[in-house]
């Protein structure tokens, strides 16, 4: 299982890289390699040009600015995992990262790579959907901001133009007082989730839900933000009956099927994990309120 | 004409300079160019961990790296663990605990654990199992490998 | 002779090299001028080959040759690969050619072989070979293959039946007609592939002046491969050497003879250069033998006290496209069903069925795990229906130790009647139950249920035939340098032969194991050999080494007695010398004795001895010897997701006397992990056109360190009376008992919901499906 031959390019700047994307046919961008290299080894993908962006220093950054977290596309998952500031200011991200692959894959894997690969159940994709992240694309034509909802175009297909490079992502930070949760079901430790669900709950002074956000991955090509369910939670007390109702609604979304997993099972997991995520988020919200 | 680059790589402290085809994977470079055959090929799609090496101290699947990406890097492989005839504490713990049978997954296990024990000098069994979850073994059932890791951790703490 | 080494958990001699990364596996072999092979494989489950066009491939720089069937030498073209275990029941002994001739019968079947300067180039060229196929109808399901109007796996054949055979004893019709209770269980079982971490591989070199081949292969039996090579190339004994280097796991399928070995040898001869082929993981999914589907339809008849009157039923066994190991696998399955229970009347009708998939051959456990699942499901069913403790139902039916040797009444694959030589099954179960705190489980389970958690416990008992004949060879030789070497046909893939066989020999010479070299799997060093599989090496090679070492030690004493002019009985062997017991400084070294033993030019041999200080033994067992085990699995099922996790796992095992307890423990624990895979994770998925869908480790799930339980081991030792050291095999027991125990435990956890299980593997999705509304759990 050896890759087919290609011409290798290793640009040092974004400007060089987008120049290559504009001029080379059948080119692929190599980031962490944890998704692309297997495909190349299997010869599922045979680019004529491989643009290795690992040497573009300007793409690796991690910056907190106000209420947002700015992450360069080439920031390694490991760096996110070890960032103490993310631990305090966006612990949801750490909870998601704990499920991603294995140490070896996080040492090389990047947030940009994960977002561009757009696996339906990828944890970083889910969190970006939940937080309403903005993707920053660069090309010879300039830069372009893309809301996540517009970024995920189809199954494992982003809305990036062929000559665009993902340069970074901005994640609005959740309110510190919000309860959060990231739960998933996978067959084994580190496997891709079959279904994942993340949740943010903000409570008012009475302990009622004033804000709710959910992102359910694994049903369709991108995480589902169930607006109706989120709205229905607002004004409710965080409790079993309300969460059961939300969970039951979550099971009604259409879900894909493949040779291993039925759509019925995915829908069932959506119900179970939505319930568990809301419970967990509510527990943490209560702790924040009293803590 | 094949696309090639000249690279300079340090492996186990020794510097090598070679001209390589750009599509040559790191594991094939180590095994066939440098004849360091201790790093093994098990799946070539990043799951089994038999090819695990340390690049700049970070555990990495060498089947998912191109050799040309390692220009200027410092790589550690299993061949660098022992000092002459003397096995290091982790290796010795493997022998003492029967942590290997066919030996094929072993170099990958050792490299993964080298990074892990450096960062977690007093791990629990659960932590060890999670750390090993990126390395497949079909012979041992992992139990003796876990025992070896915990034993090694203790020896290293005691200054073996 | 005091046993200094036997029975001790000595550290392995194999380890330092492996730990340093200086093991020598087949891909580590580099010969001058070596070229590399890649295969063009059929993408169709069933197809006719119309045309092969090599032009574009040959035009690629660095490509040396492309072989199709037509390019093979006469003797190779003229025959299919040898069927080594023929049997009259096999009516249609289809076997493959070294490269597909007119027809391909499974996805992955080799059609052409490309030789190039590197594997990278060979793969480039393989993509350029154009093959015109005419797809034919394919059959994927072994039950559907039995239908009258099923497509034929082999075009023009009479049916898809490879073989039919009954295994029986007594009169099941009579037993069933009067029975108080009859219960029927239909189960579907699916095992998967071996998935050794080192893929297969071979290096062939050809010596032109000598017209001889050397084949290095990652195998489980060098002699078996040699025999096949002699047939395929019509060669004499002196013209083929097979040498197996270090092997990264075998688990059965590396014991087969594969077309690729022939093809690299053909290429080496044609190009007069060594040729290497290393299987990649995608090929491994397609073209390495595996186990797969079995459909069981069984009935058990018991009396009012749950004593078994009879067991009968049918087994449909999927053999895949060919029958390289005959009907060995289904035969082993069938004869393992009775297990440790007294079953006076037994009848199993077995049909081995062709499908357009890679052939099935023994994978660790070799059909026995499935037999145990079948029998233990029946026992659990009896317990459930009669409202008895499952352990009690088993207790009431055990073969008792005083009944040993116990004739089961059926014939094993070795042609001999199944006769358990020794074993204490009641004691084994009792020990396992004690160690697993079985008594207190009901209260653990009840407590868990109060908290909305579901625990389950399952028991399995198994008896396994080990130490399979016909023999294993061993030569023990003291060379003129005084160093001791053991040569054997045993061919290890992690079973620690270099340590265990040294332990046996070392004791006869009174030396440390470091003073005994063990050389395995090289046909040039010993003429006869069988190989390492089927948990046979300790018994066969161990016994041969023991016998041979005793002979050599005795001869050394005889010669030394002559040299020292004393009596043999006054001598002992120790530390590389033969010395007077009463005055250890009076001694001769093994070196001196060995030199004496080879004689001196011009002088007759002293004492009428044949020359040399060596002996070759081929211990030939009269029958298999029977190991046994009891596994107790305790699991927790998350009824909302269907996830299964382990609370506890206990394995009691009896493999007779043990050469190295550390090695045996490793075998049992490793086997349990494999069983966990087969119970909960491993499934080779194919589509409706017999196209393999599971072809990578992301989709075919092997158990990780986080998936397997810590196994608590309980040791029992019932020596076998049938070999000098009292040994039995240990390599497969862990796998054989584990699947049944786990399935039983999961079912027990789901008992409150009335769920019963009739399949393995069992996935979380399936558990949720079976639970129906109950899976809503707290979301309801």
Domain CATH for B133: 1.10.150.120
Q: Do B23 and A4 touch (CB under 8 A)?
A: yes
Instruction: Judge whether C310 and C157 are in contact, CB under 8 Å.
Output: no
Count: domains in chain B: 2
Considering only CB atoms, which chain B residues are within 8 Å of A52? Answer: 66, 68-69
Q: Do B102 and C28 touch (CB under 8 A)?
A: no
> How far, in Å, are A50, B60, B63, B77, C203 from residue B27 at the CA level?
19, 11, 5, 10, 20
Distance between CA atoms of residues C109 and C286, nearest Å: 8
Instruction: Count the neighbouring beta carbons within 10 Å of the beta carbon of residue C96.
Output: 20
Best of B7, B19, B43, B46 to mutate (most A CBs within 10 Å, chain A): B46
Report the SS3 class of residue C760.
strand
CATH topology of domain A7-52: 3.30.43
Has residue A288 got a pLDDT over 90?
no
Instruction: Judge whether C637 and C586 are in contact, CB under 8 Å.
Output: no
pLDDT at C606: 67
Read off the pLDDT of residues A204-255 as tens digits, 9 standing for 90 and up: 999 999 999 999 999 999 999 999 999 999 999 999 999 999 999 999 999 9
Q: Do A2 and B63 touch (CB under 8 A)?
A: no
What is the rounded average pLDDT of the residues C230-238? 97
Neighbors of chain A with 3 or more C-beta pairs under 8 Å: B, C
Bridge-based pairing of strands C587-589 and C577-580 is antiparallel
Best of B95, B143, B148 to mutate (most C CBs within 10 Å, chain C): B143
Q: What is the 3-state secondary structure (H, E, C) of A277-290?
A: HHHHHHHHHHHHHH
Q: Looking at chain A, which residue has its C-alpha nearest residue C39?
A: A1
Distance between CA atoms of residues A86 and A64, nearest Å: 9
Query: Smallest CA–CA separation between C780 and chain A, in Å?
Result: 7
Query: Smallest CA–CA separation between A3 and chain B, in Å?
Result: 6
Q: Do C779 and A189 touch (CB under 8 A)?
A: no
**Interface list for B 47-66 with C (CB within 8 A):** 47-48, 50
Q: Looking at chain C, which residue has its C-alpha nearest residue A277?
A: C779
Read off the pLDDT of residues A20-50 as tens digits, 9 standing for 90 and up: 999 999 999 999 999 999 999 999 999 999 9
Q: Do C778 and A275 touch (CB under 8 A)?
A: yes
Q: Looking at chain A, which residue has its C-alpha nearest residue C122?
A: A2
pLDDT at A291: 66
Q: Check if C283 contacts B (Cβ < 8 Å).
A: no
C581: left (phi over 0), alpha (psi -120 to 50) or beta: alpha
Q: C375: part of which helix (H) or strand (E)?
A: helix C368-386
Q: Check if C197 contacts B (Cβ < 8 Å).
A: yes
Instruction: Judge whether C682 and B153 are in contact, CB under 8 Å.
Output: no
pLDDT confidence band for C733 (50 / 70 / 90): confident
Q: Show the domains of chain C with their CATH numbers.
A: 15-20+469-619 (3.30.365.10), 31-136+197-249+253-287 (3.90.1170.50), 366-463+624-775 (3.30.365.10)
Considering only CB atoms, which chain A residues are within 8 Å of B112? Answer: 103-104
Considering only CB atoms, which chain B residues are within 8 Å of C702? Answer: 136, 138
Q: Which of B45, B80, B115 is the last residue of a domain?
A: B80
pLDDT confidence band for B160 (50 / 70 / 90): low
Q: Check if B105 contacts C (Cβ < 8 Å).
A: yes
Query: Smallest CA–CA separation between B89 and chain A, in Å?
Result: 22
Q: Do A4 and C124 touch (CB under 8 A)?
A: yes
pLDDT confidence band for C402 (50 / 70 / 90): very high
Considering only CB atoms, which chain C residues are within 8 Å of B45? Answer: 281, 696-698
**DSSP state at residue B42:** S
Q: Do C699 and A1 touch (CB under 8 A)?
A: no
Considering only CB atoms, which chain C residues are within 8 Å of B86? Answer: none
Considering only CB atoms, which chain A residues are within 8 Å of C280? Answer: 1
Outline where B1-142 has alpha helix (H).
26-28, 89-96, 106-119, 125-131
Considering only CB atoms, which chain B residues are within 8 Å of C203? Answer: none
Distance between CA atoms of residues B50 and B38, nearest Å: 10
Has residue B148 got a pLDDT over 50?
yes
pLDDT at A188: 98
Instruction: Judge whether C111 and C68 are in contact, CB under 8 Å.
Output: yes
Read off the pLDDT of residues C509-536 as tens digits, 9 standing for 90 and up: 999 999 999 999 999 999 999 999 888 8
Q: A77: part of which helix (H) or strand (E)?
A: helix A77-82
Exposure pattern of C74-88 as b/e (b: 16+ CB <10 Å)?
Answer: eebeeebbbbbeebe
Query: Smallest CA–CA separation between C62 and chain B, in Å?
Result: 11
What is the torsional sign of CA C646, C650, C653, C658? positive
Query: Smallest CA–CA separation between C277 and chain A, in Å?
Result: 12
Instruction: Kindly report the CATH class assigned to A57-172.
Output: alpha beta
pLDDT at C601: 77
Q: Looking at chain C, which residue has its C-alpha nearest residue B1?
A: C61
Residues B14 and B59 in one domain: yes
Neighbors of chain B with 3 or more C-beta pairs under 8 Å: A, C
Read off the pLDDT of residues C564-598 as tens digits, 9 standing for 90 and up: 999 999 999 999 999 999 999 999 999 999 999 99
Considering only CB atoms, which chain A residues are within 8 Å of C694? Answer: 259
Q: Check if B65 contacts A (Cβ < 8 Å).
A: yes
Q: Which of B80, B115, B135 is the last residue of a domain?
A: B80
Considering only CB atoms, which chain C residues are within 8 Å of B82? Answer: 19-20
Q: Looking at chain C, which residue has its C-alpha nearest residue A242?
A: C779
Q: Looking at chain A, which residue has its C-alpha nearest residue C639?
A: A272
What is the rounded average pLDDT of the residues C371-391? 98
Residues B16 and B75 in one domain: yes
Query: Smallest CA–CA separation between B64 and chain A, in Å?
Result: 5
* Angle between helix C661-676 and helix B143-157 axes, rounded to 10 deg: 120
Residues B73 and B93 in one domain: no
Query: Smallest CA–CA separation between C651 and chain B, in Å?
Result: 13
Has residue A183 got a pLDDT over 50?
yes
Q: Check if B135 contacts C (Cβ < 8 Å).
A: yes
Instruction: Judge whether B113 and B93 are in contact, CB under 8 Å.
Output: no
Q: Do B77 and C21 touch (CB under 8 A)?
A: yes
Measuring CA to CA, which residue among C375, C380, C365, C381 is closest to residue C312? C375
User: Phi, psi (5° rounding) for residue B78?
Assistant: -60, -30
Residues B9 and B73 in one domain: yes
pLDDT at C412: 81
DSSP states of C692-753: B---STTTSPPP-TTTSPPPEEEEE----TTSTT-B---SSHHHHHHHHHHHHHHHHHTGGG
What is the rounded average pLDDT of the residues B147-156? 98
Distance between CA atoms of residues A244 and A120, nearest Å: 25
ipTM: 0.98
| Identity of the residue in C20, C663, C702 whose CB atom sits nearest the CB atom of B38 | C20
pLDDT confidence band for A262 (50 / 70 / 90): very high
Read off the pLDDT of residues C465-514 as tens digits, 9 standing for 90 and up: 988 888 999 999 999 999 999 999 999 999 999 999 999 999 999 999 99
Q: Which of B80, B115, B146 is the last residue of a domain?
A: B80
Measuring CA to CA, which residue among C172, C530, C466 is closest to residue C332? C466
pLDDT at C712: 98
**DSSP state at residue C9:** -
Has residue C196 got a pLDDT over 80?
yes
Q: Do A103 and B44 touch (CB under 8 A)?
A: no
Considering only CB atoms, which chain C residues are within 8 Å of B135? Answer: 705
Q: Do B95 and C197 touch (CB under 8 A)?
A: no
Read off the pLDDT of residues B23-55 as tens digits, 9 standing for 90 and up: 999 999 999 999 999 999 999 999 999 999 999
**What domain range is B102 assigned to?**
89-157
Best of C765, C774, C777, C780 to mutate (most A CBs within 10 Å, chain A): C765
What is the rounded average pLDDT of the residues C292-305? 98
Distance between CA atoms of residues A261 and A258, nearest Å: 5
Q: Do C705 and B79 touch (CB under 8 A)?
A: no
Q: Looking at chain C, which residue has its C-alpha nearest residue A2?
A: C120
CATH superfamily name and code, A179-290 = CO dehydrogenase flavoprotein, C-terminal domain (3.30.390.50)
pLDDT at B153: 98
For C502, residues 6+ apart whose C-beta sits below 8 A from its C-beta are C5, C13, C486, C513, C516, C517, C518
Distance between CA atoms of residues A275 and A185, nearest Å: 13
Distance between CA atoms of residues A118 and A155, nearest Å: 8
Query: Smallest CA–CA separation between A244 and chain C, in Å?
Result: 5
Q: Looking at chain B, which residue has its C-alpha nearest residue A52?
A: B69
Q: Do C282 and A5 touch (CB under 8 A)?
A: no
Q: Do B23 and A10 touch (CB under 8 A)?
A: no
Instruction: Judge whether C686 and C753 are in contact, CB under 8 Å.
Output: no
Domain ranges, ordered by start, for chain A: 7-52, 57-172, 179-290
Q: Do A1 and C281 touch (CB under 8 A)?
A: yes
Q: Check if B31 contacts C (Cβ < 8 Å).
A: yes
Q: Tell me the whole-structure pTM to 2 decimals.
A: 0.97
Query: Smallest CA–CA separation between B69 and chain C, in Å?
Result: 18
Instruction: Judge whether C155 and C356 are in contact, CB under 8 Å.
Output: no
Distance between CA atoms of residues C504 and C538, nearest Å: 10
């Amino acid at each position: 299982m050896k890759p087919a031959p290609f011409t290798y390019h290793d640009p040092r700047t974004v400007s060089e890289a987008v120049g290559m994307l504009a001029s080379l046919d059948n080119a692929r961008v190599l980031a962490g390699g944890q998704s692309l290299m297997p495909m190349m080894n299997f010869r599922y993908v045979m680019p004529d040009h491989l643009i290795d962006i690992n040497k573009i220093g300007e793409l690796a950054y991690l910056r907190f600015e106000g209420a947002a977290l700015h992450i360069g596309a080439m920031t390694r998952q490991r760096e996110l995992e070890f960032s103490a500031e993310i631990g305090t200011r966006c612990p949801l991200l750490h909870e998601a990262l704990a499920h991603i692959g294995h140490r070896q894959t996080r040492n090389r894997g990047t947030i940009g790579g994960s977002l561009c690969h757009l696996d339906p159940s990828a944890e970083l994709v889910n969190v970006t959907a939940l937080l309403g992240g903005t993707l920053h694309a660069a090309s010879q034509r300039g830069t372009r901001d893309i809301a996540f909802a517009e970024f995920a175009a189809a199954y494992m297909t982003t809305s990036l133009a062929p000559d665009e490079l993902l340069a970074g992502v901005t994640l609005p930070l959740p309110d510190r007082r919000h309860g959060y949760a990231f739960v998933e079901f996978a067959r084994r430790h580190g496997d891709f989730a079959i279904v994942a669900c993340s949740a943010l709950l903000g409570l008012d002074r009475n302990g009622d839900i004033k804000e709710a956000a959910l992102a359910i991955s694994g049903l369709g090509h991108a995480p589902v933000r169930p607006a109706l369910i989120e709205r229905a939670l607002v004004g409710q007390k965080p409790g079993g009956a309300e969460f059961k109702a939300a969970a039951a609604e979550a099971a009604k979304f259409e879900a894909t099927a493949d040779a291993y997993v039925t759509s019925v099972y995915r829908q069932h997991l959506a119900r179970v994990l939505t319930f568990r995520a809301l419970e967990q988020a509510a527990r943490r919200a209560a702790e924040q309120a009293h803590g | 004409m094949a696309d090639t680059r000249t690279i300079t790589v340090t492996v186990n402290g020794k510097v090598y300079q070679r001209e390589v085809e750009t599509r040559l994977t790191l594991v094939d470079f180590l095994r066939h160019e440098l004849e360091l055959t201790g790093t093994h090929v098990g799946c070539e799609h990043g799951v089994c961990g038999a090819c695990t090496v340390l690049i700049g101290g970070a555990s990495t699947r060498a089947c998912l790296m191109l050799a040309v990406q390692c220009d200027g890097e410092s790589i550690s492989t299993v061949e660098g663990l022992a000092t002459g005839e003397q096995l290091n504490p982790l290796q010795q713990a493997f022998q003492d605990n029967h942590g290997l049978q066919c030996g094929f997954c072993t170099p990958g296990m050792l490299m993964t654990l080298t990074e892990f024990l450096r960062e977690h000098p007093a791990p629990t069994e659960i932590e060890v199992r999670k750390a090993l979850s990126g390395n497949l073994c079909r012979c041992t059932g992992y139990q003796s490998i876990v025992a070896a890791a915990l034993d090694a951790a203790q020896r290293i703490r005691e200054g073996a | 002779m005091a046993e200094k080494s036997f029975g001790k958990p000595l550290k392995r001699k194999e380890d330092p090299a492996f730990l340093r990364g200086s093991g020598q596996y087949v891909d580590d072999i580099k010969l001058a001028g070596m070229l590399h092979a890649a295969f063009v494989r059929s993408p169709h489950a069933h197809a006719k080959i119309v045309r092969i066009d090599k032009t574009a491939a040959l035009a690629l720089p660095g490509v040396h040759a492309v072989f199709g069937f037509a390019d093979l030498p006469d003797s190779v073209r003229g025959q299919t690969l040898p069927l080594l275990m023929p049997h009259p029941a096999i009516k249609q002994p289809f076997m493959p050619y070294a490269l597909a001739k007119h027809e391909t019968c499974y996805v992955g079947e080799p059609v052409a072989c490309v030789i190039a300067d590197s594997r990278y180039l060979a793969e480039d060229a393989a993509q350029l070979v154009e093959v015109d196929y005419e797809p034919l109808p394919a059959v994927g399901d072994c039950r559907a293959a039995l239908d009258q109007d099923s497509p034929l796996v082999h075009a023009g054949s009479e049916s898809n039946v490879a073989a039919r055979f009954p295994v029986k004893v007594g009169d099941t019709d009579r037993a069933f007609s009067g029975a108080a209770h009859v219960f029927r269980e239909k189960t579907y079982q699916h095992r998967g592939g071996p998935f050794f971490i080192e893929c297969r591989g071979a290096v062939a070199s050809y010596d032109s002046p000598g017209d001889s081949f050397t084949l290095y292969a990652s195998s489980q039996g060098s002699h078996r491969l040699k025999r096949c090579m002699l047939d395929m190339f019509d060669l004499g004994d002196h013209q083929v050497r097979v040498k197996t280097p270090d092997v990264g796991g075998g688990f059965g399928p590396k014991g087969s003879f594969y077309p690729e070995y022939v093809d690299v040898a053909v290429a080496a001869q044609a190009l007069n250069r060594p040729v290497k082929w290393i299987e990649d993981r995608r090929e491994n999914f397609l073209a390495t033998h595996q186990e797969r589907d079995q459909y069981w339809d069984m009935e058990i008849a018991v009396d009012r006290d749950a004593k078994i009157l009879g067991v009968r039923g049918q087994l449909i066994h999927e053999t895949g496209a060919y029958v390289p190991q005959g009907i060995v696998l289904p035969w082993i399955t069938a004869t393992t069903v009775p297990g440790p229970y007294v079953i006076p009347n037994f009848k199993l009708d077995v049909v081995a069925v062709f499908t357009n998939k890679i052939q099935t051959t023994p994978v660790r456990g070799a059909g026995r795990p499935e037999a145990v699942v079948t029998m233990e499901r029946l026992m659990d069913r009896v317990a459930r229906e009669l409202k008895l403790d499952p352990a009690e139902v088993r207790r009431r039916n055990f073969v008792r130790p005083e009944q040993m040797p116990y004739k089961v009444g059926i014939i094993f694959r070795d042609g001999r009647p199944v006769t358990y030589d020794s074993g204490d099954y009641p004691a084994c179960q009792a020990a396992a139950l004690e160690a697993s705190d079985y008594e207190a489980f009901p209260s653990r389970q009840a407590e868990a249920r109060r908290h909305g958690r579901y625990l389950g416990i399952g028991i399995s008992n198994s008896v396994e035939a080990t130490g399979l004949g016909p023999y294993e060879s061993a030569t023990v030789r003291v060379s003129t340098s005084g160093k001791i070497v053991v040569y054997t046909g045993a061919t290890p893939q992690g079973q620690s032969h270099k340590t265990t066989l040294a332990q046996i020999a070392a004791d006869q010479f009174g030396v440390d194991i470091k003073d005994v070299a063990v050389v395995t799997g090289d046909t040039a060093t010993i003429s006869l050999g069988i190989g390492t599989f089927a948990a046979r090496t300790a018994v066969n090679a161990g016994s041969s080494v023991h016998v041979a070492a005793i002979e050599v030690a005795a001869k050394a004493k005889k010669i030394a007695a002559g040299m020292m002019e004393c009596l043999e009985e006054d001598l002992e062997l120790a530390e590389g010398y033969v010395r007077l017991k009463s005055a250890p400084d009076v001694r001769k070294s093994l070196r001196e004795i060995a030199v004496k033993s080879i004689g001196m030019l011009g002088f007759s041999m002293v004492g009428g001895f044949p020359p040399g200080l060596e002996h070759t033994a081929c211990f030939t067992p009269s029958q298999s010897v029977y190991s046994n085990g009891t596994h107790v699995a305790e699991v927790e099922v998350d009824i909302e997701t269907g996830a299964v996790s382990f609370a506890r796992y206990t394995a009691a095992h009896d493999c007779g006397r043990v050469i190295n307890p550390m090695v045996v423990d490793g075998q049992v624990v490793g086997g349990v992990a494999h069983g966990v895979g087969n119970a909960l994770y491993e499934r080779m998925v194919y589509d409706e056109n017999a196209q393999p869908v599971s072809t990578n480790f992301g989709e075919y799930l092997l158990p990780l360190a986080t998936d397997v339980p810590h196994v608590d081991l309980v040791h029992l030792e019932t020596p076998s009376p049938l070999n000098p050291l009292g040994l039995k095999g240990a390599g497969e027991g862990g796998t054989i008992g584990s699947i049944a125990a786990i399935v039983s435990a999961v079912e027990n956890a789901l008992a409150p919901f009335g769920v019963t299980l009739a399949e393995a593997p069992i996935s979380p999705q399936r558990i949720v499906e079976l639970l129906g509304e109950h899976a809503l759990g707290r979301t309801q």
